[in-house]
Amino acid sequence: MLRIQIIEIKEGQICATGSLDDVIKADPETYSSWSEAIKKEAEEEPDSEEVKDAEEERKTLKRQLSKKDSFVRQMSKGMS
C-alpha cells in the first residue's frame, strides 16, 4: 500500500508532516487557504467545449490569414 507523506513548510521551517489528516489537524488554516485556492483555480479552468471552440476559431483565422497572404503575394507579383 502506498503511503503519502506530506511535509508543510512555512518561511523555511517544517511546520507539519504526516498524512493529509495529520497536516490538517496541525494547521487547519493553511489547509483551508489551500483548498480555497484549488477551488478558485478549478473554476477558472476553461471547459473542454470552450477549448474546442477556441481551437476551431484559431484554425479559421489561420486559414483566412493564409488566403489573404496568398492573395497579397499574387497581387504583388502582378504589379511587378
Domain count, the chain: 2
Decide: residue 23, CB within 10 A, 0-12 exposed, 13-18 middle, 19+ buried: buried
Q: What pLDDT does residue 80 have? A: 61
The residues, any chain, with a CB within 8 Å of residue 31's CB and separated by 6 or more, are 23, 24
Residues 78 and 39 in one domain: no
Q: What pLDDT does residue 34 have? A: 87
Residues 37 and 55 in one domain: no
Query: CA 66 to CA 20: how far, in whole Å?
Result: 53
Let me know: does 7 contact 26? Beta carbons within 8 Å: no
Domain span holding position 10: 1-45
pLDDT tens across the length of the chain (80 residues): 778 899 999 899 999 999 989 999 998 998 899 889 888 887 776 677 877 888 899 999 888 888 777 777 777 777 66
Q: What pLDDT does residue 46 have? A: 67
Q: What pLDDT does residue 62 have? A: 87
Residues 52 and 29 in one domain: no
Residues 41 and 57 in one domain: no
Residues 2 and 13 in one domain: yes
